[in-house]
Chain A
Amino acid sequence: MLTGHTLNGGWKVTRQVPKSPTGTGGWSSVGYVVESPVGKEAFLKALDIYGPFGGADLTTRLQNLMESYNFERDLCLFCRDRSMGRIVTALDEGTFMVPGAGPYGAVPYLIFERADGDVRSQVDFSQRFTMSIRFRYLHHVATGLWQLHKQEIAHQDVKPSNVLVFEQSQSKLTDLGRAARQGHTPPHHLLQVQGDNSYAPPELLYGDVNADWCVRRQGCDLYLFGSLVVYFFAGTAMTPEIIRHLPPTHYPRSWKGTYRDLLPIVEKAYGDAMDGVRQAVDPDLRGDLLPIITQLCDPDPLRRGHPKGRGIKGQQYSLERYVAIFDRLTMKSEILLSKKKVAP
């Protein structure tokens, strides 16, 4: 629909791209590659009012779409204004009037930096996805989340497909469509799980919503980040690993009690899952990684976070320590890698 058109700001739409396979997004969209007036490529995310988005009737549907679009747009612009370097921020936004389509041919859009892909394409456990790159990406993600948390925003949908990879081993977090901002009510606030269910922390899958925003939202981000560490180093995600160690009668759709009643069993299943993760992680890295995973993925959100931050107001869910840890691990692995290269 937009291909060939030139948008405000001189962006030229060159081609349409396939939709992100599991992009949550928060609103139905169509992706395009656009070119800036200086020839730099970017990614355009255009609102698709014909896409599958909740609401039985047209007006509800349009309302949901607009609220979601506006929410993400405002958040992206907010992040851009705060110079969050590890968040894929909007380069531009606007509404394009499709010629000849009349007043209903308006297409709101957001333009983002264009990535080479997401980390899923790299996590094939091949040689090129070295330890140092994994640590570097995790450092970037931790930094991105920390940047968000400092502004009282929780991402809520950290997963491999939302970690975009750029040249020179740079990565950034994308997709703020399911984010939550303290003091604001996002359009998706009624959803039991804001992000992708397949990665969601167990307490949310079982409907245990803590009244404290930090426990509920930042605790969720910590879990998702820990699950990403598991994905990078053990090739799986924490949530399906925990569930597969539960009795089927206790799966999220089957359990009819409270999460607090279930927690001892989830913790046991988590222990079994961690046994598998321990086996899968490189023995040289276990000492560094297993405590991190344990702290981040604890099934009890009240126990999540760095031990030194527990019990201190505003510190329990702080990612600052993890930023430092992954920075150190990145440097350590890079030194080891360079020594290997130098060694005869």
Chain B
Amino acid sequence: MTVALRDDSRWVIPRWRDSILTARIGEMSPLTEMKAPRELDPAEFEQALRTWAEERTLGIAFEILAGGMVHGRAQEARDAAEFVLASASASPLSKGLAKTILEASSPRTQMDMDEVEPVTLLEERVRIAAAKRLLVSYPNNPLLWADLARSYILVGQAQPALRAMRAALAIAPNNRFVLRAATRLYIHDRDPGKALDLLRRSPATLRDPWLLAAQLATSEVAEAEPLNVKRGMELIQSGHFSPFQISELASAIASIEFGAGNPKIGKRLVKLSLAVPTENAFAQAIWMAKKIKSISVQTDAREVNRSFEAQARLAALKSSWKEAVASCRKWCLDEPFSARPTGLGSYLACTVLEDPGMGVEFAEYGLKANPNNVTLLNNKAVALADLGRVGDGWKIFRSINNAKEDPRHSITLTATEGLFRFRFGQPEQGRALYRKAIVQAEKYPLLKGMALIHLIREEARMDLKAVAGLLPEAEAACQGVPEPVLQTLLERLRSLPKEQEEKIIVPPLPIDKGSMNL
């Protein structure tokens, strides 16, 4: 059966984007800001503009482009930019500069923060090569090492990524970007203890709300005692930081306070985290609001840059499935190494959207950086089976290694094996496996409901009359489970035709016994 990744816990673990994008978002802004703005004398730029009115040459046009860029006065350099672009003798780089000026001066791109671009494996490898080349000149640039680590993770090479991150940490053990990126990497590498150790050892953590937020969130992931909560409150109350800078810290402490049974403080902190939220804090608030009804999130998602996760969650809560999947796509591109967006995307695509092709696409995308993720492998196997490629799906399924024997994974895999038995024409065995999974899932209502729904779906493939007999059991199991997907799937089962002769929603799939290796 198709399942979502576990969503019973969520912490404000730092996002890990490349350094330039992180800087654009404002997560690398200085803690102490200069009081007086920098004054740059615009005399030469203005003189060039005056001359331009009388003498339109490439040389003057270039001076205007350069001045427009340095002084941030792109609007006044538009005319010169258009001139350079139209000139046959202008160099390619000056044309590139002209394009930047035109883009910067157009209203659309004052800063289109929500732009995401798909990056192929080949492109990522080209980036790795470029980063290595640059590192020859700048071996002491920690950002280059951290970005290189990210690129390695995106192509599924964890060991070189860890080596690159170690280099970044050796150079800049107290750099905010490096520490937050390392935190995310070690959590991805299932070593949150190491991330926590780094954060706790850095003297910067106690004075930087971004780092303290990461430390508190990582404590929860590592199941360690969250230290420095009091210090976090001091930073929040100090008045030294902008609401954006303390957003994640407030969110991290809010989660801890809710966990400790202090909802009043927690709610106050959630409100504070949403004053000018990071998208991570915003997504955290939405996740908490789903669990704790008294939390209300009034923030407009359009006002928070790159709030793809929050938008996906909000859309899923409203059962706007297509919108949710579209946001998942953007979330995938924003955080390509994370299994969460692809897990949610493949889950929604295979269940409520009934689009197994898209499910495979999501799962494969996530598997690039998470090749052993049980949920993604499972969802891919199920999606392939739904596409009629039962043999291919079975191969994937057999390759899944549930080494940690997570009971949830065991339940899922038992049910999925049941699905394959059905598809291979062994309904008795399939039924038995589903039943086994349902019994195992007694403590996990979501999994139980999902297993029942999948069982009904398989039965309906063979005989629609079986639906009526199983539906009440599924309805009872799903009652009170705060998961709109279950309700949507149940509704669809209810609307299935009663008789076999009537239209069958899902066409029967080819039986592929030959590839079974039981």
A residues adjacent to B (C-beta < 8 A): 21-24, 52, 120-121, 123-126, 160-161, 191-193, 196-200, 205-207, 234-237, 239-241, 243-258, 261, 264-265, 267-269, 271, 274-277, 279-280, 294
Contact = CB atoms under 8 A, between A and B. Distances in A.
B294 interface: no
A265 B23 contact: yes
A256 B34 contact: yes
Interface in B431-483: none
Given A198-B70, A246-B23, A277-B93, 10 more contacts: A22-B60, A24-B43, A120-B60, A240-B66, A248-B111, A253-B37, A264-B144, A267-B143, A268-B20, A271-B134
Contacts of B66: 198-199, 237, 239-240
30 contacts: A22-B44, A124-B58, A161-B63, A192-B41, A193-B40, A193-B41, A197-B41, A197-B42, A197-B70, A206-B38, A207-B38, A237-B66, A240-B65, A240-B97, A244-B96, A247-B23, A250-B23, A256-B30, A264-B143, A264-B175, A265-B19, A265-B23, A265-B28, A267-B138, A267-B141, A268-B20, A268-B143, A271-B137, A276-B93, A279-B92
A215 B45 CA distance: 26
B393 interface: no
What are the nearest 9 A-B pairs in CB distance?
A235-B91, A257-B30, A120-B59, A247-B24, A21-B51, A198-B66, A256-B33, A236-B93, A271-B134
Contact of A256 (B29, B45, B96, B130): B29
A319 B181 CA distance: 41
A38 to B, nearest CB: 32
Q: Which of B19, B21, B62, B100 has the most CB of A within 10 A?
A: B62
A175 to B, nearest CB: 11
A83 B61 CA distance: 35
Given A244-B97, A268-B19, A268-B20, A251 B91 contact: no
Given A248-B104, A265-B20, A197 B45 contact: yes
Contacts of B387: none
A252 B32 CA distance: 16
Contact of B44 (A198, A241, A256): A198
Contact of B59 (A160, A192, A199, A274): A160
B29 A249 contact: yes
Contacts of A206: 38
Interface in B152-183: 172, 175
Nearest to B146: A264
Contact of B39 (A192, A255, A279): A192
B44 A197 contact: yes
B343 interface: no
Nearest to A202: B70
Nearest to A263: B141
Contacts of B57: 120-121
Contact of A22 (B63, B91, B172): B63
B48 interface: yes
A-side binding surface: helix, strand, loop or mixed? Answer: loop
A261 B58 CA distance: 36
Given A197-B67, A199-B66, A264 B19 contact: yes
A276 B60 CA distance: 22
B89 interface: yes
B141 A294 contact: no
B44 A257 contact: no
Interface in B172-197: 172, 175
B147 interface: yes
A125 B89 CA distance: 6
Nearest to B177: A264
Nearest to B22: A247
B93 A258 contact: no
Nearest to B45: A198
Nearest to B95: A235
Given A198-B67, A268-B143, A276-B93, A21 B45 contact: no
A196 B43 CA distance: 9
Contacts of A279: 92
B28 to A, nearest CB: 7
B70 A240 contact: yes
Nearest to B59: A120
A279 B130 CA distance: 13
B228 interface: no
B96 A276 contact: yes
B89 A126 contact: yes
A329 to B, nearest CB: 20
A269 B20 contact: yes
Which one of B63, B71, B92, B134 has the highest number of Cβ atoms from chain A below 10 Å of its Cβ? B63
B70 A252 contact: yes
B55 A21 contact: yes
A258 B28 CA distance: 12
A192 B40 contact: yes
B360 to A, nearest CB: 35
Contacts of B39: 192
B26 interface: yes
Contacts of B142: 264
A306 to B, nearest CB: 15
A67 B145 CA distance: 50
Q: Quick one: which of A241, A244, A267 has the most chain B CB within 10 A?
A: A244
A191 B41 contact: yes
A246 B45 CA distance: 20
B90 interface: yes
Interface string B53-83: 0010111101101110111100000000000
A261 B62 CA distance: 30
A193 B144 CA distance: 29
B238 interface: no
B9 interface: no
B59 A123 contact: yes
A250 B43 CA distance: 22
B94 interface: yes
A257 B89 contact: no
Contact of A236 (B38, B97, B104): B97
Contacts of A192: 38-41
B47 interface: yes
Contacts of A248: 24, 72, 104, 111
A271 B144 contact: yes
